[in-house]
Amino acid sequence: MYPCRALLVIVVVYGNIRTRYVAAIQESSEVKNLNFNDPSWSDAWFLLTDQRPSMNVQKAWNEGYNGLGVLVTVLDDGVEYQHPDILPNYNSSASYDFNGDDNDPTPRYSFANENRHGTRLAGIIAAAANNSECSVGVAYMASIAGIRMLDGDVIDEIEADSIRFAFRDADIIVSGWGPDDDGRTVDGPGNLANLAIEHAITEGRNGKGSILVWATGNGGRVDDDCNCDGYASSMFTISISTVTQDGSRAWYGESCASTLASAYGSGDDRKSKIPTTNIRSTCTNGYTGSTASTGIAAGIMALCLQANPQLTWRDVQHLVVRTSNAKGLDVADFTTNGVGRKVSGYFGYGLMDAHALVQKARVWKSVPERKACSVIIHATDVRGRWKVSPNTSTRITFNVTDISCKNGDTLPDRLEHVQLTINTNNMLQYTLLSASLISPSGTKSVILGFRKPYNQYNRFRNWNLTTVHYWDENPVGEWQIVFERKQREAYIETPLILHLYGTSRRDWDDFEYVTATGKESPYDEVMTARQTSTQSLPESSLGKAERLAKYASCRIFCSLQRILENDRPCSCKDLEIQT
């Protein structure tokens, strides 16, 4: 089902296999559907106002956010820039063809029309609006560029060159490809691509960092785990999963703890697919797979950067965490983390909300400096490893305080990404190993899921398992790592390394934050609930001790509220004991 490089391009000999991921809050909006004349507009269900839950894209458009001034570059099998619905927004100087080594990224045409992926992706992001042509892009005034790099040997050097070329000009770089979605591959960027990604983060957008948006992959049918895909699971990429039209997960969708959020996309044949531009100057209503959702997400991020061009790559992740929403989504694995946010391995923090995102982006000041702490965990076993027996879990418990960090590191007390680096023995059926983390707040995050049995030997070698589920939690306290294994035993080599990234709360105290509406969802819900229950106690029945306790918890509540950037007035004056 998946157009895979190895099958399509028979001349591929040494290139890594990279699969294109194809086929396989909201209150009811008072916004009326815009009256565009584009023929596919009425089929763009994911943008229309009667779709529930809503991504609120039209609401953001109505406030003037349409991507103007933002450049989005697509790394793919080409972009048919002469398509009448792409040409108005096309940026040629930011485009290149690394397969043909020329300036023209037009796809290679063939009888099977297989090189249509990039053109379809480009249209979702930035097809022109109200021009009587085809569809309407999510960021219909954004500039769009194409890098042709998937139609040939996809080697480390080509990936690195493509990312490097893209980040010179692009604000947002979008990729809908990665390691083969066969449920048994563990692969990621090579040395050069890794370096290029790091450069994009540190040098792109004049040091604010390129926004790299990556599809989670289409290996759901074989239980593929996107934490075995080093592109999607990289901290530097925002990986996006799919919500189908009825709010459920897609049959091809992958689950993993590094997925940040979701956007609408195709489901099975009974559900609507995504309308967009197609090669040979045509239009399609049939775009499918996690790439389509990634394109929608990238378009929404273009609206966000238009609302605030000063945002760094970390600001954008903070904003996506805060504004995406679990409400109305149908999946079993949503849990509430230690700061009260709902998060899922499949949907991340939920469906993106364009309107909430631009609102919050507009008033957001950059987050404080990033702190990193690596905690090294040694096995006490004389053989220097942990044994994981079939069908029983191996639990490793350890404490994190600020002296746990290796030399020179500073422990963040407000987390962003958390990674666990693992090494294992070479084992048969290495796909039958799972790993979870449990934070001091009790949040459990599956960082490696069981995949399908596969009768080959392999090992995890310095592999990073990433989770975003602990965002804003405090890491101080007891952590647990739980390994499970099916069929036969496995050995986890010592040491395990837990990497904790984030910020220091005290740096946030000076952080001038202005809220747009005074609302900071989802903290608001949690905090309001707490406040209400406190206030419901009859004041007169309180003895001195109770009053003291209440005063103390009120002080904590107010300081928490300050930390959580809520500028709502908070006073404990009424509870002060008069002496």
Residue numbers at the binding site for Ca ion (CB under 5 A): 38, 85, 97, 100, 102, 104, 127-128, 131, 133-134, 181, 217, 219, 224, 229, 234, 237, 239, 258
Q: Are 339 and 472 in contact (CB under 8 A)?
A: yes
| C-beta neighbour count of 294 within 10 angstroms | 29
Specify the residue, 104 or 153, whose C-beta has the smaller distance to Ca ion.
104
Q: How far is CA 115 from the centre of its chain?
A: 26
Specify the residue, 468 or 575, whose C-beta has the smaller distance to Ca ion.
468
Distance CA 182, CA 186 (A): 10
Distance CA 308, CA 172 (A): 14
Specify the residue, 255 or 325, whose C-beta has the smaller distance to Ca ion.
255
Nearest residue to 96 via CA among 72, 113, 79, 82:
79
Type of residue at 467: T
Specify the residue, 219 or 295, whose C-beta has the smaller distance to Ca ion.
219
Type of residue at 128: A
Specify the residue, 237 or 443, whose C-beta has the smaller distance to Ca ion.
237
Half-sphere exposure of residue 368: CA atoms within 13 angstroms, side-chain side: 21
CB of 125 to Ca ion, least distance (A): 12
CB of 239 to Ca ion, least distance (A): 4
> Residue 287 forms beta bridges with which residues?
274
| C-beta neighbour count of 455 within 10 angstroms | 8
CB of 20 to Ca ion, least distance (A): 12
Q: What is the CA radius of gyration of the chain?
A: 24
Burial group, residue 147, by CB count within 10 angstroms (0-12, 13-18, 19+): buried
N-terminal to C-terminal alpha carbon distance within the chain = 76
Specify the residue, 234 or 566, whose C-beta has the smaller distance to Ca ion.
234
Token reading at 150: 């998937």
Distance CA 445, CA 25 (A): 24
CB of 168 to Ca ion, least distance (A): 19
Angle, CA 230 vertex, CA 225 and CA 234 arms, to 5°: 110
CB of 212 to Ca ion, least distance (A): 8
Q: Are 299 and 67 in contact (CB under 8 A)?
A: yes
Q: Are 148 and 122 in contact (CB under 8 A)?
A: no
Specify the residue, 115 or 258, whose C-beta has the smaller distance to Ca ion.
258
> Residue 396 forms beta bridges with which residues?
481
Residue with nearest beta carbon to Ca ion: 217
Specify the residue, 12 or 261, whose C-beta has the smaller distance to Ca ion.
261
CB of 103 to Ca ion, least distance (A): 7
Token reading at 467: 């989770």
CB of 275 to Ca ion, least distance (A): 10
CB of 223 to Ca ion, least distance (A): 10
Q: Are 575 and 551 in contact (CB under 8 A)?
A: yes
Q: Are 348 and 254 in contact (CB under 8 A)?
A: no
CB of 521 to Ca ion, least distance (A): 23
Specify the residue, 40 or 272, whose C-beta has the smaller distance to Ca ion.
40
CB of 447 to Ca ion, least distance (A): 13
Distance CA 529, CA 340 (A): 12
Type of residue at 457: Y
Specify the residue, 114 or 224, whose C-beta has the smaller distance to Ca ion.
224
Specify the residue, 189 or 522, whose C-beta has the smaller distance to Ca ion.
189
Q: Are 547 and 575 in contact (CB under 8 A)?
A: yes
CB of 534 to Ca ion, least distance (A): 39
